[in-house]
Amino acid sequence: MITYKYEGVSKDGMNVNGVLSAYDEFEAVASLREKLSIVTNIEPVAEKKGIELFGSGKIKVKAKDLAIMCSQFSIILQAGLPIVRSVEMVADQVTDKALKEKMKKVAEDIGGGFTMAQSFETNLPDLPTTFIETIRAGEASGSLETCFKRLATYYDRSSKIKAKVAGALTYPAIVIVVAIAVMIIIMTVAVPLFTSTFADLGTELPGITKGLIAVSNFFVKDWWIIIIAIAALAGIYLLVSRNESGKRFLSEFALMKSPVAKIKSMSCASDFASTMSTMLAAGLPLVRALEITASVISNYVFSLAIFQVKEDVEQGKGLADSMRQQKCIPVLLTEMCGVGEKTGSMEATLDVIGDFYSSETQLATDKLLAAMEPAITVGLAVITCVLLLAVYMPMFSMYDNMAM
């Protein structure tokens, strides 16, 4: 809401001034006319810079926090408390100061006559579309507590999947980072020390040792080329990813041609099924549910495919028939949607297929990481052997020459 300062004449003829909060100037004037005979001036208050920076900053709410928040709303609303009081109670449980402040503003706006969806959308515009639209549908159907319960399950499942993937990636990531750090130290510190020793030996160095010294010299003297190359690749990637055809190429590669294409495809299918199930259970029409689902899918090509399905459904085509026209949508997902469409149990069918794809995505990710661990170990062993041979072979040559 916006804070306005005003001047006017009261109904008993006195000049008055003050401040009030409203969504826009029209609402502010309408409110003032109830207690003033004339409004002579009204203008928005310029907030202090510190407050503006604090208030205008983006607030990113994690899926885990959203799950907890939705669960609290569901429980409190089922207990029969008014919506305003429910928001205030949930705000009291929030630890993040910025989010707590925004939640209090949401409660104020609801108390001022605005809907819950409008209030959240205005004060926390960075909240997921699924959150806002589900609340809007819940308010329209009078099943707000049920919608919050569905959202709690939805975000809880999403947060658990992300946590499992992050946990599984932690070990390989740490090993790779440590290996790179050790390699840099060896190339820039250890090898130069051996190089001076080898020069004093006066013997012909093996090819593997010469190669190691050349790589070390490159790291020591021409390291800036590596930095420029990395920066150039990052710049090219950013340029390509912001271009329409580039985004299509990268998304299509990730979804259909990359080594992890199967995992990415199943992940998108899981997101589609889970989001659609939540939207339909909230009472949204199929077309609107497809539109929202397409907007939250992370892969650009898959998202465009769902938008195309939405347009086909708008023209009267069946959901499954429309999905069959899109090559990037898994066949099993399409066929299961067809079953749900024919039996009239779309929500339940999508719930089942969503759980299936979530499990399959996690299983495939675990298998990939399980295969990566020995590959990383073998790679490190090969690098260690090369380093040892490069260091010790000149010494063996020196001992042979001394023996002769």
Is 393 in the same domain as 366? yes
Of 106, 139, 156, the one marking the end of a domain is: 156
Is 279 in the same domain as 346? yes
Of 141, 156, 171, the one marking the end of a domain is: 156
Is 378 in the same domain as 350? yes
Please give the chain's pLDDT, 404 residues, in tens: 566 777 877 777 777 776 666 656 666 777 777 777 777 787 776 544 333 333 345 677 888 888 899 999 999 988 888 888 998 999 888 888 888 888 888 888 888 878 888 888 888 888 888 888 888 888 888 888 888 988 898 888 888 877 877 777 787 888 888 888 888 888 888 778 777 777 666 667 778 888 888 888 888 888 889 899 999 999 998 888 888 888 888 888 888 888 888 888 998 999 899 889 888 888 888 998 998 898 888 889 999 999 999 999 999 899 999 999 998 999 999 999 999 989 888 888 998 998 899 888 888 888 888 888 788 888 888 888 888 888 777 777 666 665 55
Is 34 in the same domain as 121? no
Task: Indicate the pTM of the whole model.
Answer: 0.71
Three state DSSP letters for the chain:
CEEEEEEEEECCCCEEEEEEEECCHHHHHHHHCCCEEEEEEEEECCCCHHHHHHHHCCCCCCHHHHHHHHHHHHHHHHCCCCHHHHHHHHHHHCCCHHHHHHHHHHHHHHHCCCCHHHHHHHHCCCCCHHHHHHHHHHHHHCCHHHHHHHHHHHHHHHHHHHHHHHHHHHHHHHHHHHHHHHHHHHHHHHHHHHHHHHHHHCCCCCHHHHHHHHHHHHHHHCHHHHHHHHHHHHHHHHHHHCCHHHHHHHHHHHHHHCCCHHHHHHHHHHHHHHHHHHHHHCCCCHHHHHHHHHHHCCCHHHHHHHHHHHHHHHCCCCHHHHHHCCCCCCHHHHHHHHHHHHHCCHHHHHHHHHHHHHHHHHHHHHHHHHHHHHHHHHHHHHHHHHHHHHHHHHHHHHHHHHHC
Give the domain extent around 362.
157-404
Is 248 in the same domain as 292? yes
Is 40 in the same domain as 66? no
Is 307 in the same domain as 262? yes
What's the domain count of the chain? 3
Q: Is 54 inside a domain boundary?
A: no
